[in-house]
Structure 1
Amino acid sequence: MADPSTSPPLTRASVAAARELIKPFVHRTPVITSTSLSALASGTDAGADAGKANPKLRLWFKCENFQKVGAFKARGAFHAIERLKQEPGWLEGGGPEKGVVTHSSGNHAQALSLAARANGIPAHIVMPRISAPPKIAATKGYGARVIFSGSTSVEREAATAQVVEDTGARLVPPYDHPDIILGQGTLGLEFQEQVEELMMAAEEEEEEDGKEEGAGKKKKAGSRRGLDAIIAPCGGGGMLSGVALSCEGTGIRVFGSEPSFQGADDAKRGYESGTRVEAVSSLTVADGLRTPLGRIPWSVIYERRLVSGFYSVSEADIIRALRLAYERLKVVVEPSSAVPLAVALYNEDFRAMVEREAGEDGWDVGIVFSGGNVSLEALGKLFSESPEMAK
């Protein structure tokens, strides 16, 4: 990894620069909407619960499940490699031959493997022996050398250190580095622009319809086109902090979302107490969010207050939201991706806050679908074992 001291400043402008750097390597993933899910979130669906908060929510979904390797992690990995290539002396000193190394059980493993292959660089990936076989196979499929380790962070880090000593490879961490954060934040810039474009197109269509009917529609004075808020999942915080940077100075509020099961809501607890929680041990179904919040993401999220707050949801709510994503949006997402949607649908604190602050106008809320790397067998087991949760 490039020396953090040489990284660009953590600003919205740096996120924009990162987007230009990785544009040839990643997809501009689609943004989709759902009238039925917006109605459900707004309490106007037939199944809405009486007596609870009924904010007016218009939901927009950023589909990083359609990104390369099936997750947003490709953005940070490609940006890290491109930044490393710009480090003085790395190319001349044999850096590309020594390669890169990381420890990961899933999406970052695949993302770094792909980015390294695209640049002709060896990738050494330390993976816990208990990693899902499809993820191991995918990582090897991208050409990486996989080294197995124990499942604890101590065991993984020890194995990684040994690889660095043996090969001279550069460590590319999954989230706790400025270059990773800036790369992940590029999805936030895209999201903002895509929603504005879609809103503009809808307004133009309405105006044309109005002209044909002889009654044009006027936009409300003082209204602002675009998102009012974004909810993103939070594990190590690389993506959440990057999205927060992409929204700095725009007026768009950013919220983190986490599972509450077995203390997986470490970022929420740390944010509310003022002290970062450094260890997490949880077997939440949202397996991509079992990681404690990193030090550098914490500096963006909490110390700079670029995230407005955190909300957590139960396992039952995550599974209910996951089922809705499949049934109503027809997209393949993993449980971690369903956590922001679960907040919008079921977290009463969030919903009451929107109802109070947005009033009758409501909010346009962006939901980040972070990835779609889940096996059909795992989904079948999840839904079949928890029918009461999926209702």
Structure 2
Amino acid sequence: MRLRKLLICTEPRNEIEAGLKRMYIKRVQEMFKKTLNMESIFNIFDEVFHGLSQASVVSENLYSFYESLLTITSYYQHSQAGRGNLVAKLLEELGTSDKMEFEFALMKLPQWLGQNIKFEESVLTKQKFDIVNKSNDTLAFCELKMKVYSGCTAGRVELMEKFNKFTKLIIGNQSFRNCIKSAGIRNVFLIGGILFDIQGEPATSQKDEDWSICYNGLLKGKDDIIKTLKDKNIQHKIDEEKLPEKAFLIEFVIDGIKVSIIAVYGNEVIKSLFVGRQKYDIEHFKKQLEEMLYDDLWLAQIITVSERAVLDQNFKKNKNLNNYVISILKNNDILSEVKKFQSNRDNKTLEEVTDRVIEMIKQCDKNLLDISPTPAEIIIKMSGENYNIRDYVADIIQFLSCKVVVNVLQLEIFANDRK
């Protein structure tokens, strides 16, 4: 069994982690709440449409898993608050700028530049960019991919299509150009950036080209932009000298505004984004990012999907609305064991507590361990990891060693019992 890296059980080291911890706690609490009862978000029409009714015909076990999967992931995917905060804050620290914003809607550009005009809404103006940065007389729009395979061909085509639409907009829309020029902007960069290769090292053009199916999407997008420039009779330069940190550069000037469209990799992404005002390189970013990667959310989703399915199976097979989470929360003796791990978080204590908890659960619900394998065991074993019921219970114990999670879940159980 593994000691998981759970931020909800860790003292945050800085403001970024403190904010992230608050968001993780909220999400873990809400997901674990859904393991405590079989209250469904699906009506009869949903059950037919999503195939739940058919799943129950095929197998009740399949239904239990599929219903749990839909319920947990439905909540999680709709809970979007703060998703970009971590990477955004880390990126902001890599350099200095006049202004920087993330997930930026192009329609907001006039207000962002301190102007009172409004763009006419169109396909070309209704775009969003991952990052926009203003530095002196330069405006940089950046679309980021974390790794060379992120989004694959479609992702690269979509990225370059945004740049193509921007190109059409700045060429054909005088008011858009006036907005940029009135803000003192003379240079615009459109940056397609890829940070890491498949091994997590700084990406290079060669590593990207090795994933030819993705790289081809980038080249197709480049050709589309060149076609747009030719169709509009715009003089332009193309630099296709392949360097480790650059695939190509397209430059043109329109109404005194120099536009540079560039596909870059690794550290060159940061260098281009901050337009010469970079403070730290990509290795610094990688180190900061790795220190803030936690197991909370991916593992909580797997565990809660599994526990909700176990709850459903136990009820249908044994008429007992119980699972491992409920068994622990409703038994003070078992909770006392969990608290022993809470005060001494090491592998030896976790193993000892897990074995005692399993034995105590057997006494409370002798049929629970017969519901095997749990969905979590099946899913995690697919990764090649040796994962059994002891590992599963150990993971649940680690989540329930977080006091604020347990407090909320106990209140939820109390409310359920009163219904």
Q: What TM-score does the superposition give when structure 2 sets the normalisation length? A: 0.27
Q: Which structure is higher in helix share?
A: 2
| TM-score, scaled to structure 1 | 0.29
- Bigger radius of gyration among the two: 2
